[in-house]
Amino acid sequence: MRVVLLVLATLAVAQGHMRFLEPPCRACIWRFPEYASYNPEPRGNDDEFWCGNERLLEDVAGRCGICGDDVNQPMPRETERGGRYWRDLQVRTYAAGATIPIHLHSNTQNHGGGMEVHLCAAQFETEDCFQKLVMGNGDTYWPLNLAEGTMNIETTVTLPAGVTCEKCTLRAHYRGAQAWGTCDNSRTCVCNPNSGDPPGGMGCSEQQTFRSCSEIKIV
């Protein structure tokens, strides 16, 4: 029993991360020499925008910044339009309806759970603006396994047909599943009905959530 509890505790405190490398995220452009003229501010932990490191339910509305910043930061938050890491730069230009490559990366162990990619085709970002995009697996959800090692996802997303924007935001949204919680209906929850009263499971209830935003143009 003590061994099981130790393993669960270790998983619960492990810290995973996630960044958009393709297209480059707002806090990541310092990694790319072609953007040096924009004087980007370096940030080594540009994969650590995790809602203030608060564990959240699956619906994070009102508890996490649009791009993963601590919701309590003054507006505009660090990675939002007009914020500390934002530059007036659209890193990629795509055609409406195109299927485009994406690369999500971290140097740390992935946390299981799953990933979504969202698009806001408006200059001024709001949570309601974002819509889910279909990824290379044919779904709007990309599941991850705790045993798969570091995060290194290279796949595609399909942009909506007929939607154009001069300044729009592509967002990766990642909910981990490395902590034990009370069973619920979240997509990451692996419920063990015989675990107690109430029953629990890995990935259930409140989990770490990560976001990464890139600014693009769609013509």
CA dihedral 217, 124, 42, 48 (to 10 degrees): -110
pLDDT tens digits along 132-181? 999 999 999 999 987 777 889 999 999 999 999 999 999 999 999 999 99
- What mean pLDDT is predicted for residues 184-191? 96
Answer whether CATH 2.70.50.50 is correct for domain 2-218. yes
pTM: 0.90
What are residue 136's DSSP bridge partners? none
Calpha distance 203→30 (Å, rounded):
33
pLDDT confidence of residue 16: 54
